[in-house]
Structure 1
Amino acid sequence: MSVKTSVYRHIVTEGTHYEVGRALGACFREDRELMAFLTSPFMGASPLLPAAAERIMEQFEQYCPGLNQEIQGFADETGVAAEQIVFYYSFYHPSVYCSQAAFSTGTGEGCQTYHMRTYDFGWEDAPYNQLLLSTTRVKGKPAHTGFALQLFGRYDGMNEEGLCITTTSGRTKPAMTEAGFIFPGVVRTVLDSCATANEAVTLLRGMPISDFRNILISDRHGSIALAEIAGACKEIEYYSAATANQRQLVVSANHYTLPPMQSHNLQLMHNSRVRAELMQSSLSRENVEMDMLNAMKQLAGQSYPQGISCHHYREGLGTMWSAICDNSAGELHICFGSPTINPWRTFGLYSPPGIREYQAKLPDEPSDADFWCNTL
């Protein structure tokens, strides 16, 4: 087994969208490798033509107003053209894997909602993966904390309204053939715009999305929504808050589960099926309800196949971080790197502006023979 040590950062910014962008620029303008990545066409694509850049900016202004100003602030601070920022390519992203689950019980003051996810990918970190936890407090928008992608997008997160959103890849290495938002822009838009799962569902139904993605949403009131998307095909299941004596659990790995989406499962990896079954069985036991937070930590903290933590970084499926959101308390419990050997840390939404670094270990090992096999 080889072990790599990676550096994770937590950045806190606040102000108007433009001021947040300037603050991001001030933090990262001297990082030449990152700046080259942020201003180069994504994954070898051709540069955006002026008309395409204008059309994409109009889409962001419609669905996530203010984000263009954040990018402009960054551009002004770093001396680059806003239309060159790679984040605009999130309107047309390679697959990552991941596991996610949301649990709620009770209603009103007695409601408890916990939302967990692991982000699983390869050892490829900077500059592609910034390993950056971002707390953003934009004037007029709900404050939120989540992992940043291309600085302005989000892999996941929770906002001050107690709304949490995470995603998993629905299909391995899909061909993107349609115009629409990719998950970093979708997640950021939901965090900036929505207070409840119902509001998020309404937004997703009307938003053009071209990704192949499973999106799980929960709120502090106990409502949960699962959106499964395969290009232009979109199916959303909404679960309203449970009654006082009920509980509900929704899990998602790297395949589609809603009946209308079954035809889009071109592959169902053995490891995806096992992770989904583990989450369902482990988190539905009656004895875990009283301490769901620790039950989720234990599940994430055990190596596959006993748990959902994976260590196959060289193969592209290793746990880069794990997060558990306590929607009611407004707290994110986060483990940088593998939770089998790294500590959990608690983050809120009101840390002072600035940036802080953390180190984490990522232990690599080969997968078993059946890990990647197709079970369809």
Structure 2
Amino acid sequence: METMSSTTCKTAKYTHIITEGTHYEVGRALGAYYKQDSAFIAFMSSPFMGAPPLLPDAACKVMESFGAYCPGLNEEIQGFADELGIAAETVVFYYSYLQPSGHCTQAAFTSSPAAGGHSCHMRTYDFGWEDEPYNQLLLTTTRVKGKPAHTGFALQLFGRYDGMNEAGLTVTTTSGRIRPVMTGEGFVFPGVVRALLDSCETAEEAVLLLRSMPVSDYRNFLISDAAGSTALVEAAGTHKEIQYQAAAAVSTDKLVISANHYTLPPMQVHNLQLMENSQARYDAARLALTGEQMAKDPVAAMKAAAGSVYPAGVCCHHYSEGFGTLWSMVCDNTACEAHVCFGSPQLNPWRTFGFGGPAGVTAYTAVLPDRPSAPGFWSNVSS
């Protein structure tokens, strides 16, 4: 464990919001909660990162795309807009082709059938400590009528960084390339993750939907389900490669890891910015998530791996440089429980979330300890 004696610490506020009903009712509830937050409303109804407003034809095309691949989401956004008295087409989430990149690590594990076939999934989300409204630090449990409930971290309210639904399907992401130039046409990760959690119950269903979706992002999607099937989807612009493993085809422990670079052979040409820290986190996760402890209690082993400090582990505290652990999540697909740590696991507790509980809002605080990175941390080792 690194020492904290020379660390600058910041206290961050996290929110867990539970909404339920139809998509439209969920949207109205979100609007009602944020109604008095003028800064957040301005952020949610302004073009993303200074872009020009969407032209009517472009707005219609985006809405049609969400209608086709994530049915009901337009109604959720409409409910939010109606509650706030703004035009739905101005909601920032529709600027779906340009999003910030985070630096993350993720892993999915299924024990062998002889060991019970326990399926679980780990992720850390690492970025800077920008204040609201840019960074909402919002965990949401969404119960929409007719769809599986899901719990995950929200991006611009309607998208998801990650999450698990009540069928035991987990979807997480890591950026494959840092600050890429987005030139293709299609969805970026928040819309993709939301669509999969809303519409799918198995990794196979998620892969089928992802194959059909137009995606234009430099992103790695890791998918796992309660049965133990996994999929690693690596996307570079409009190029997608998918490695799917059905649970029935695996007879031994299975581990899939992803950091901030591509690992599938056809994607190596896209590794233009393989950071030293990405390879180091990938190697540390692989070492931590093998062995006796992993076989005995994979959830505990994943929590330990998420809380081990770089370079021995994947937890980072370089928030002022744009690379600090904002949250960690271990999803127990078999038990349908999401174990979440707000902030660094070095200084903050793990909490367990399911899909129940009354609609409403709960606030949490977490400590974020800032330290400078070591020399070479940001080095490009792809050449």
* 2:252 counterpart residue number: 246
In the alignment, does 2:224 pair up with 1:218?
A: yes
Give the match for residue 343 of structure 1: 349
Q: Does 1:177 align with 2:155?
A: no
1:292 matched to 2:298? yes
Q: Does 1:142 align with 2:148?
A: yes
Alignment of 1:124-139 (within 5 A): 124-139=130-145
3-state SS of the aligned residue for 1:11? strand
1:161 to 158, 167, 177: 167
Q: Would you say the 8 A contact 2:108–2:257 is kept in 1?
A: yes
Deviation, 1:244, is: 7.8
Contact (CA 8 Å) 1:111, 1:220: kept in 2 or not? no
RMSD between aligned residues: 1.3
- 1:350-376 alpha-carbon deviations (Å, 9 max, x no partner): 121000000000000000011010112
Aligned match of 2:4: none
Q: CA deviation at 1:342?
A: 0.3
Structure 1 unaligned runs (5+)? none
Contact preservation (8 Å) 1:120, 1:310: yes
Out of 235, 243, 246, the position equivalent to 1:229 is 235
> What is the match of residue 3 of structure 2?
none
Per-residue CA deviation, residues 157-211 of structure 1 (Å, 9 max, x unaligned), is 0001100000000001000001110100000000000000000001111100001
1:103 maps to 2:109: yes
CA contact (8 A) 2:18 2:359 kept: yes
What is the correspondence of 1:273-292 to structure 2 with a 5 Å cutoff? 273-292=279-298
Q: Who is 1:78 aligned against?
A: 84
What is the letter of the counterpart of residue 307 of structure 2? G
Amino acid at match of 2:242: I
Judging changes above 3 Å, is the alpha-carbon distance between structure 1 residues 244 and 57 closer, same or farther for their aligned structure 2 residues? closer
Query: What is the total number of aligned residue pairs between the two structures?
Result: 376
Matched, 1:372 2:378: yes
Displacement of 1:243 in angstroms is: 6.2
Alignment-derived partner of residue 262 in structure 2: 256
1:204 and 2:210 aligned: yes
Q: Does 1:305 align with 2:305?
A: no
Residue 96 of structure 1 deviates from its aligned partner by 1.0
> Within 5 Å, which residues of 2 pair with 1:14-163?
14-107=20-113, 110-163=116-169
Q: Does the aligned pair in 2 maintain the 1:9–1:355 contact within 8 Å?
A: yes
**1:151 partner letter:** L
TM-superposed deviation, 1:299: 1.0
CA positional deviation for 1:111? 2.2
Shift of the alpha carbon at 1:92? Answer: 5.0
Cα drift, residue 302 of structure 1: 1.6
Give the TM-score, by structure 2 length.
0.96
Secondary structure at the aligned position of 1:372 is classed as: coil
| 1:234-260 deviation per Cα after TM superposition (whole angstroms, max 9, x unaligned) | 100001115685110000000000000
CA drift of 1:110 comes to: 3.0
CA–CA distance in 2 between the matches of 1:237 and 1:64?
A: 23
User: What is the deviation of 1:287?
Assistant: 3.7
Describe the SS at the equivalent of 1:371: coil
| Counterpart AA for 2:151 | T
Percentage of pairs with the same residue: 64
Instruction: Measure how far apart 1:288 and its partner are.
Output: 2.1
2:257 maps to amino acid: V
| Aligned residue in 2 for 1:269 | 275
Alpha carbons of structure 1 residues 113 and 58: separation in structure 2 relative to 1, 3 Å:
same
Conserved 8 A contact 1:91-1:185: no
Give the AA of the match of 1:58.
E
Determine the C-alpha separation between the residues in 2 that align with 1:107 and 1:86: 45
Contact 1:11 / 1:353 at 8 angstroms: preserved in 2?
yes
Corresponding residue for residue 361 of structure 2:
355
Cα offsets for 1:312-345 (capped at 9, x unmatched): 0011110000000000111000000000100000
